[in-house]
Chain A
Amino acid sequence: MTFLEQLQIFVPGIVVALLVALLGGMFSVIVVMKRLAFVGQGVSHAAFGGVGLAAILGFGSTLGIDPLARTLVVAVFSIAAGLMVSHLAKRTERRTDTAIGIVMTASMALGFVLYRLAANRARGAGAGPLPSIEGVLFGELLSISPAAAWTTAGAVVLIAAALFWNRRAILLWSFDEASCAPSGLNTSRLGMLVLILLASTVVLAVQVAGVVLATAVLVLPGATALRLTRSLVPAFVCSVTVALLTIAAGIGLSVELDWPPGATIALTQCGVWLLAAFATGWKR
């Protein structure tokens, strides 16, 4: 296999990772300031339920249109899980962390049961292999197809446009949610919009870092940027820059050291955050 052919295998994964860095970096400042990290964590774990559901619906294999259909099912499932969290937190349990704990474990448990059922059925029928659990949990950057890269690019454009178009309302919502309604904004619609955009971003990040590590992309760039700068535009620029550089460096390191890419990216981001935290005196 020539170098060019080798590179071609990596390209879709690298493109997806950089696109996720761009979007995650933008979103990360909001996630950190509005304390959405655990919501992101919950939604990313809930994505596992979507993987199981896709498998039992017959979109289990790693071939043909199955990966795309699976992404769609996972996206719908994750957004539904996010809305469920929001509903439980507002109406039923009144505590967001409890609501996340319920939805997250329910989705993961359901996902695993469905996955096993689908795996047994596939073995009986002699069908193609399901995606590995390890890949779902920790990311499978190198198995990303060109079609998935194109889909991700389209989704990133849509999500980034929605974020950009509504940025001032989202900023007011993050800065002072209670002041949104008196200012004439529809608070619940705004919250719903952010939740849907966040869940969609998480689904894209799951491709890179898996359901367990996806939150790294949404928390660490913002947390790093907010240590280094205290004003709005620099915070977003810094967060996106940190996200792009750490993801690029993480992929490079994973190739160099032959470490799994998702985990290496997460470790790189943690390392950069550590440096920033030390450099800014550790305490806040």
Chain B
Amino acid sequence: MSVRAEHAVEIEGVSFAYPARAVGEQPVRALDRITMPVRAGTRLGVLGPNGGGKSTLVKLILGLIEPDEGRVTVLGLRPPEARRRGLIGYLPQRTTAETDFPISVRQAVALPLAARSRGWILRDRRAERAADEALGLVGMDGFGDRPVGALSGGQLQRALIARAVVCKPELLVLDEPTVGVDAAGQQRFADLISTLHAGLGMTIITVSHDLRAIAAGSDRVACLHRSVHFHDAPEGLTPGILAQVFAHDVEPLFGRLHVDAHAADACEDPSHHHHSGPRGQNGASGREGSGR
């Protein structure tokens, strides 16, 4: 955790294609020569349509896949090494946790840190303290002794955020954190992330197809649709735009968000039109789904 680099994440000329699904089909290109420096301590929102390569980008940053060309470094390290050192926190889009597991909230939050400690240490008090601290950060003081199965959906998500930051990572990656959450819930989530950012000073990358999820808590916005385009949030996301965002669909705002016409083209995608409908909630579809 002593690693300090100017850039938390450096993505240089990265391309990635999933292998063809059937004989005769072409490999599916998910990312095309992406270059994306993420300065340490910033909050970056990555906005893009379903199938635009967001999940692929997340997997590359986490080091779960290797790029076909180009280079990804996290805090100056190869991503798997950064992961091994506990420098990356990750909140998945949908939790796969067994919520009826006989485990307390504290134990569940402590596990990623505790799993690193020596087997002969009977009780890992350091991890327990870190778990309590993380629970405090997400406003879950006093929940430590409850069974995980007794938490509501919102509480569970906060506990999972606590778990993602229990190792005090330098980088936190949030994958579609507010899918299926109403506007008030999104605001609460954005406030929570701002508190975390202020408390731990980490770099935060939020990936979403939903502008609202990104607008509230990002210093910069990158638009991703196989290639990437950056926008500094201050002029892009004014209060006026935000008001409209919360009232209307995201689509009309794309033109305004993108300074140059080229970027707007890059963001256009047919799947984007029914954004707030159930299709938008489905998460991975088409291209992204084929890679799993």
Residues of A within 8 A of B (CB): 29, 33, 164-169, 171-172, 174-179, 181-185, 226, 229-232, 234-235
Contact = CB atoms under 8 A, between A and B. Distances in A.
B119 A184 contact: no
A176 B119 contact: no
12 contacts: A33-B101, A167-B119, A168-B117, A172-B112, A175-B98, A175-B111, A179-B163, A182-B83, A183-B111, A183-B167, A232-B102, A235-B102
A167 B83 CA distance: 20
A226 B62 contact: no
B90 interface: yes
Main secondary structure of the interface of A (DSSP, over half): helix
B267 interface: no
Contacts of B62: 181-182
Given A176-B97, A231-B147, A235-B102, A184 B116 contact: yes
Given A231-B147, A232-B103, A175 B119 contact: no
A243 B220 CA distance: 57
Given A33-B98, A231-B102, A232-B104, A183 B92 contact: no
> Shortest 7 CB-CB distances between A and B: which pairs?
A165-B119, A182-B90, A183-B112, A176-B97, A178-B96, A172-B111, A184-B84
Interface string B72-115: 00000000000111101010100111100111100110011011
A178 B92 contact: yes
B149 interface: yes
Highest count of chain B CB atoms <10 Å: which of A166, A177, A182, A231:
A182
B77 to A, nearest CB: 12
Highest count of chain A CB atoms <10 Å: which of B92, B111, B117:
B111
Contacts of A174: 98, 101
A166 B64 CA distance: 22
Nearest to B83: A184
A231 B83 contact: no
A275 to B, nearest CB: 20
A108 B120 CA distance: 40
Interface of B: 62, 64, 83-86, 88, 90, 92, 95-98, 101-104, 107-108, 111-112, 114-117, 119-120, 124, 147, 149, 163, 167
A270 to B, nearest CB: 22
Nearest to A181: B64
Contact of B101 (A169, A175, A184): A175
Contacts of A229: 102
Given A174-B98, A178-B96, A184-B83, A168 B111 contact: yes
A254 B116 CA distance: 45
Given A181-B83, A184-B86, 15 more contacts: A33-B102, A165-B120, A169-B115, A171-B111, A175-B98, A175-B103, A179-B92, A182-B83, A182-B92, A183-B111, A183-B112, A184-B112, A229-B102, A232-B102, A232-B107
A189 to B, nearest CB: 13
Nearest to B119: A165
A176 B98 contact: yes
A42 to B, nearest CB: 21
A179 B102 contact: no
Contacts of A33: 98, 101-102
Nearest to A183: B112
Contacts of B111: 168, 171-172, 175, 183
B62 to A, nearest CB: 5
Contacts of B90: 179, 182-183
Highest count of chain A CB atoms <10 Å: which of B90, B92, B112, B167:
B112
Contacts of B98: 33, 174-176
B94 to A, nearest CB: 9
Contacts of B92: 178-179, 182
Contacts of A165: 119-120
Contacts of A166: 119
Contacts of A183: 83, 86, 90, 111-112, 115, 167
Given A172-B115, A184-B83, A231 B64 contact: no
Highest count of chain B CB atoms <10 Å: which of A165, A172, A229:
A172
B1 to A, nearest CB: 13
Contacts of B116: 184
Contacts of B167: 183
Contacts of A176: 95-98
Nearest to A178: B96
A38 B108 CA distance: 26
